[in-house]
A and B are shown apart, each in its own frame.
Chain A
């Protein structure tokens, strides 16, 4: 394998669905509301309007209208200093509102699970038609009538942000605890948002959707029924919804670092010559809506975790366009690696860089877990990217590449502020590709290193964590 023939990352789409009405179905809000149903009024009193979600600086960065570094000059709190020139569309993607998303949820449902009021669906169809992404046949699926074949027992009621009733989600097979209404809603939200990201990517790349051969899902939803909870896949369903009729696909599961695992696999499938166009798609995580809600309510902040976010990345053969996926510089956190920070970062950062003879400071930008700190800090989870940058800088100090007093500055020179909604696998480094790709193509960035970590231990099958990293650079 030579570096000159390595696969190309052709493009990335980053989309947001602002869904304040669905926030109550996040895991944390669901559990809190079970304890105190009256909390719903307080939640609704702290929801943002669509315009506020569009104007929110980190969301503008996510869809590519500003560089991440722009946030350093934006006064805090970012939620009170909206971007006056904000647009719902950007070079990397778009932000759609709840009124559109109800239609996508309905279109994603082939089993009459989602029943939404006809006038809402008509409005959604109108909005989605104006986006220009969907064909007439696809829009027809928005306004089709729910067949109500699912059992109505255990159905949940959907509400818009203002509390008005929108419709219902039924459960799947009666008595199947793997297909309760809340699980199906999670999965359909993942499918709909992932398909939106796929559509956006295909539009951006001006490609024929039939040219997509393989789709690797990297979301965190468990699709299946009582005999194979989580054993199913969602990627092919997304491909179908996005019109990729010649594609098949499968899902890669590795908690938050699945997207980087999937990107490396996509590169390998292309490099081997098996497929030409492979898409990595991460649908949104409904369970994480309102995850840090209590911290935000305690500080009387708007509930910033009101957005579903999804990404799609196209990987193809070397084409001279400038951006290479360095399959010879992959960092893997192995079983042997252990749990200490030093060992984790040696496996994920120094080992792959050493393979290429690069120093830590030879990498222009490190993309780490890019969680928006305005969401995590008030809830006591700290500034996640900052902690990561300090550790990478610490490694550079220990290797004698920088001085101890340069640790603080490393975040500014080699890092960026977090800007991604706290959607688990979505903040895992890759959304920075939206900014890195054009800069690597025009030569203003030499390379970028993408590092993701996953909390494997959450599944109670092991105490280990996981991690995966890869370098992207300018083709010679």
Chain B
């Protein structure tokens, strides 16, 4: 599983696509390489519920307040739906 932490929804989508279908920008080593890995964002409930609450709060809490999490989740979920993990 790949866990992303970037704060930019468009960047999250690009990275998610890179580790599933392959690099959509065709600039890196994963161009044309379909890894088909499950991919989540660190702030998604599926991930944060598995983390120790105090550690999560300490390490991610402030960043999460600053992120547009709804947009990020929408982007990454769309990638998962388009390209289900193998």
Report which A residues bind B (CB closer than 8 A): 294, 298, 340-343, 345, 377, 380-383, 387, 390-391, 393-395, 397-398, 404, 407
Contacts and interface: CB of A to CB of B under 8 A. Distances in A.
A374 B67 CA distance: 20
B69 to A, nearest CB: 11
B58 A390 contact: no
Contacts of B11: 380-382
B54 interface: no
19 contacts: A340-B58, A340-B60, A342-B63, A343-B58, A345-B62, A377-B8, A380-B10, A380-B11, A381-B11, A382-B8, A390-B65, A391-B63, A391-B65, A394-B64, A395-B62, A398-B61, A398-B65, A404-B65, A407-B65
B5 to A, nearest CB: 10
Given A380-B10, A380-B11, A380-B14, A342 B66 contact: no
Contacts of B10: 377, 380
Interface string B1-34: 0000011101100100000000001010000000
B8 A407 contact: no
B65 A394 contact: yes
A383 B65 CA distance: 16
Determine the main DSSP class of B at the interface with A.
Answer: helix
A387 B7 CA distance: 8
Contacts of B64: 394
A257 B81 CA distance: 42
Of A298, A345, A394, A407, most B-chain CB atoms within 10 Å: A394
Contacts of A391: 62-63, 65-66
Contacts, number: 56
A380 B61 CA distance: 23
Nearest to B7: A387
A395 B65 CA distance: 8
Nearest to B14: A380
A350 to B, nearest CB: 11
Interface in B28-84: 58-67
Contacts of A407: 65-66
A342 B58 contact: yes
B23 to A, nearest CB: 12
Of B8, B10, B60, most A-chain CB atoms within 10 Å: B8
Given A340-B58, A380-B11, 8 more contacts: A294-B25, A340-B63, A342-B59, A345-B62, A380-B8, A390-B66, A393-B66, A395-B62
A381 B25 CA distance: 14
A382 B66 CA distance: 13
Contacts of B25: 294, 298
A377 B8 CA distance: 9
B8 A342 contact: no
Nearest to A394: B65
A394 B62 contact: yes
Nearest to A344: B62
B8 A341 contact: no
B70 to A, nearest CB: 12
A151 B63 CA distance: 52
A380 B23 CA distance: 13
Given A298-B25, A340-B59, A342-B58, A394 B66 contact: yes
A382 B75 CA distance: 15
A398 B62 contact: yes
A294 to B, nearest CB: 6
Nearest to A345: B62
A393 B68 CA distance: 13
A341 B59 CA distance: 7
Contacts of A294: 25, 27
